[in-house]
Amino acid sequence: MYVTTEYDDIRIPVANKRGQINEKPETIAKYNEFMSGVDRQDQLLAIYPCERKTLRWYLKLAIHTFQLLFINSYKMYNKYSGKPKMTLYDYRLAVINELLPEKNTAVSVPTGPSRAKTSREVPHKISKITERNSKGNIKRKMCRMCSKSQKIRRDSMWHCETCIDKPGLCFECFDEFHLSI
Protein backbone atom coordinates (compact mmCIF):
# COMPACT_ATOMS: atom_id res chain seq x y z
CA MET A 1 0.00 0.00 0.00
CA TYR A 2 1.23 3.48 -0.76
CA VAL A 3 -0.03 7.03 -0.42
CA THR A 4 1.24 9.80 -2.67
CA THR A 5 0.14 13.02 -4.28
CA GLU A 6 3.15 13.30 -6.57
CA TYR A 7 2.02 10.86 -9.25
CA ASP A 8 -1.33 10.05 -10.84
CA ASP A 9 -2.87 6.65 -10.33
CA ILE A 10 -1.93 5.25 -13.74
CA ARG A 11 -0.20 2.04 -14.76
CA ILE A 12 2.87 2.19 -16.96
CA PRO A 13 4.72 -0.63 -18.79
CA VAL A 14 7.98 -1.67 -17.10
CA ALA A 15 10.53 -4.27 -18.28
CA ASN A 16 12.04 -6.62 -15.71
CA LYS A 17 15.55 -8.17 -15.77
CA ARG A 18 14.43 -10.88 -18.19
CA GLY A 19 12.94 -8.38 -20.64
CA GLN A 20 9.33 -9.23 -19.85
CA ILE A 21 7.02 -6.23 -19.83
CA ASN A 22 4.53 -5.81 -17.00
CA GLU A 23 2.34 -2.93 -15.99
CA LYS A 24 2.95 -1.31 -12.62
CA PRO A 25 1.56 1.78 -10.90
CA GLU A 26 3.67 4.81 -11.76
CA THR A 27 4.51 5.39 -8.08
CA ILE A 28 6.00 1.90 -7.69
CA ALA A 29 7.88 2.14 -11.00
CA LYS A 30 9.46 5.46 -9.99
CA TYR A 31 10.38 4.14 -6.54
CA ASN A 32 12.06 1.05 -8.06
CA GLU A 33 13.86 3.23 -10.62
CA PHE A 34 15.46 5.44 -7.99
CA MET A 35 15.80 2.88 -5.19
CA SER A 36 19.44 2.38 -4.28
CA GLY A 37 21.88 2.73 -1.43
CA VAL A 38 20.03 2.82 1.86
CA ASP A 39 16.89 1.04 0.63
CA ARG A 40 18.90 -1.84 -0.87
CA GLN A 41 21.12 -2.04 2.20
CA ASP A 42 18.12 -2.18 4.54
CA GLN A 43 16.66 -4.91 2.34
CA LEU A 44 19.86 -6.98 2.64
CA LEU A 45 20.12 -6.35 6.40
CA ALA A 46 16.58 -7.61 6.92
CA ILE A 47 17.46 -11.06 5.51
CA TYR A 48 19.67 -12.01 8.50
CA PRO A 49 18.60 -9.92 11.50
CA CYS A 50 20.97 -10.11 14.47
CA GLU A 51 19.50 -7.63 16.91
CA ARG A 52 17.82 -9.05 19.98
CA LYS A 53 15.76 -7.40 22.70
CA THR A 54 18.10 -8.40 25.49
CA LEU A 55 21.23 -6.78 24.08
CA ARG A 56 22.53 -3.54 25.46
CA TRP A 57 22.34 -0.55 23.11
CA TYR A 58 26.10 -0.48 22.51
CA LEU A 59 26.08 -4.16 21.49
CA LYS A 60 23.23 -3.49 19.06
CA LEU A 61 25.22 -0.60 17.62
CA ALA A 62 28.38 -2.71 17.28
CA ILE A 63 26.51 -5.61 15.63
CA HIS A 64 24.68 -3.26 13.27
CA THR A 65 27.99 -1.61 12.30
CA PHE A 66 29.56 -5.02 11.70
CA GLN A 67 26.61 -6.03 9.51
CA LEU A 68 26.93 -2.82 7.48
CA LEU A 69 30.63 -3.49 6.96
CA PHE A 70 29.85 -7.07 5.95
CA ILE A 71 27.24 -6.01 3.39
CA ASN A 72 29.62 -3.40 1.99
CA SER A 73 32.34 -6.04 1.63
CA TYR A 74 29.80 -8.32 -0.12
CA LYS A 75 28.92 -5.56 -2.60
CA MET A 76 32.60 -4.79 -3.22
CA TYR A 77 33.43 -8.48 -3.72
CA ASN A 78 30.70 -8.87 -6.34
CA LYS A 79 31.74 -5.67 -8.09
CA TYR A 80 35.55 -5.95 -8.12
CA SER A 81 36.52 -9.62 -7.70
CA GLY A 82 36.12 -10.55 -11.37
CA LYS A 83 34.53 -13.83 -10.29
CA PRO A 84 30.88 -14.79 -10.84
CA LYS A 85 28.53 -12.98 -8.47
CA MET A 86 27.73 -14.76 -5.24
CA THR A 87 24.49 -14.70 -3.32
CA LEU A 88 24.61 -13.16 0.13
CA TYR A 89 24.09 -16.62 1.67
CA ASP A 90 27.03 -18.16 -0.23
CA TYR A 91 29.21 -15.16 0.60
CA ARG A 92 28.40 -15.50 4.31
CA LEU A 93 29.29 -19.21 4.19
CA ALA A 94 32.56 -18.49 2.38
CA VAL A 95 33.59 -15.85 4.93
CA ILE A 96 32.64 -18.09 7.86
CA ASN A 97 34.62 -21.01 6.37
CA GLU A 98 37.67 -18.78 5.96
CA LEU A 99 37.44 -17.43 9.52
CA LEU A 100 37.00 -20.82 11.19
CA PRO A 101 40.15 -22.80 11.97
CA GLU A 102 40.96 -25.71 9.69
CA LYS A 103 39.15 -28.75 11.03
CA ASN A 104 40.89 -32.02 10.38
CA THR A 105 38.27 -34.73 10.50
CA ALA A 106 40.72 -37.52 9.84
CA VAL A 107 40.23 -40.51 12.10
CA SER A 108 43.54 -41.72 13.47
CA VAL A 109 44.24 -45.42 13.02
CA PRO A 110 47.42 -47.03 14.30
CA THR A 111 49.70 -47.73 11.35
CA GLY A 112 52.44 -50.22 10.92
CA PRO A 113 55.71 -49.49 9.12
CA SER A 114 54.69 -51.28 5.90
CA ARG A 115 50.99 -50.39 5.87
CA ALA A 116 49.69 -48.09 3.11
CA LYS A 117 47.39 -45.21 3.94
CA THR A 118 43.71 -46.08 4.07
CA SER A 119 40.73 -43.78 3.55
CA ARG A 120 40.55 -43.37 7.34
CA GLU A 121 43.97 -41.73 7.46
CA VAL A 122 43.24 -39.22 4.69
CA PRO A 123 41.76 -35.91 5.92
CA HIS A 124 38.16 -35.59 4.79
CA LYS A 125 36.57 -32.26 4.04
CA ILE A 126 32.95 -31.48 3.32
CA SER A 127 32.40 -29.45 0.15
CA LYS A 128 29.49 -28.07 -1.82
CA ILE A 129 28.40 -30.01 -4.90
CA THR A 130 29.24 -28.01 -8.01
CA GLU A 131 27.67 -30.26 -10.65
CA ARG A 132 24.54 -28.89 -12.28
CA ASN A 133 21.56 -30.64 -13.82
CA SER A 134 20.00 -29.90 -17.22
CA LYS A 135 17.97 -26.99 -15.77
CA GLY A 136 21.11 -25.35 -14.38
CA ASN A 137 20.29 -26.12 -10.73
CA ILE A 138 22.88 -27.61 -8.38
CA LYS A 139 22.52 -31.39 -8.20
CA ARG A 140 21.59 -32.77 -4.81
CA LYS A 141 22.52 -36.14 -3.36
CA MET A 142 20.65 -38.14 -0.77
CA CYS A 143 22.39 -38.10 2.63
CA ARG A 144 23.79 -41.57 3.06
CA MET A 145 23.65 -41.62 6.87
CA CYS A 146 20.11 -40.22 7.19
CA SER A 147 18.76 -42.81 4.78
CA LYS A 148 20.72 -45.67 6.38
CA SER A 149 20.38 -45.01 10.11
CA GLN A 150 17.24 -42.87 10.45
CA LYS A 151 15.36 -44.30 7.44
CA ILE A 152 14.50 -40.83 6.13
CA ARG A 153 15.27 -39.25 2.78
CA ARG A 154 17.16 -36.00 3.15
CA ASP A 155 18.65 -34.35 0.08
CA SER A 156 21.91 -32.53 0.59
CA MET A 157 23.99 -30.20 -1.56
CA TRP A 158 27.17 -31.28 0.28
CA HIS A 159 29.43 -34.28 -0.21
CA CYS A 160 32.87 -35.59 0.75
CA GLU A 161 35.36 -34.94 -2.07
CA THR A 162 37.95 -37.33 -0.61
CA CYS A 163 35.79 -40.46 -0.43
CA ILE A 164 35.85 -42.72 -3.48
CA ASP A 165 32.17 -42.48 -4.44
CA LYS A 166 31.71 -38.90 -3.11
CA PRO A 167 28.70 -39.72 -0.91
CA GLY A 168 26.07 -37.08 -0.24
CA LEU A 169 26.13 -36.07 3.44
CA CYS A 170 24.50 -33.40 5.56
CA PHE A 171 26.55 -31.44 8.12
CA GLU A 172 25.13 -33.40 11.05
CA CYS A 173 26.10 -36.77 9.56
CA PHE A 174 29.55 -35.93 8.16
CA ASP A 175 31.63 -36.87 11.25
CA GLU A 176 29.44 -39.85 12.10
CA PHE A 177 29.84 -41.25 8.58
CA HIS A 178 33.64 -40.99 8.70
CA LEU A 179 33.82 -42.62 12.11
CA SER A 180 31.84 -45.59 10.82
CA ILE A 181 33.91 -46.34 7.70
pLDDT tens per residue, the chain (181 residues)?
778 888 888 999 998 888 899 999 988 888 888 877 777 888 888 888 877 776 688 888 888 899 999 999 999 999 999 889 999 999 999 999 888 877 655 544 444 444 334 444 557 777 888 788 888 887 888 888 887 777 778 888 888 878 877 888 887 787 778 777 6
In whole angstroms, give the CA distance from residue 36 to residue 90: 22
User: Using N-to-C axis directions, what is the helix angle for 37-47 and 57-80, rounded to 10°?
Assistant: 110
Length of the chain counted residue by residue: 181
Q: How far apart, in whole angstroms, are the C-alpha atoms of residue 168 and residue 181?
A: 14
Q: To which H or E segment does residue 90 belong?
A: helix 88-99
DSSP-assigned states of every residue in 38-78: HHHHHHHHHHS----TTS-HHHHHHHHHHHHHHHHHHHHHH
Q: What is the pTM of this model?
A: 0.44
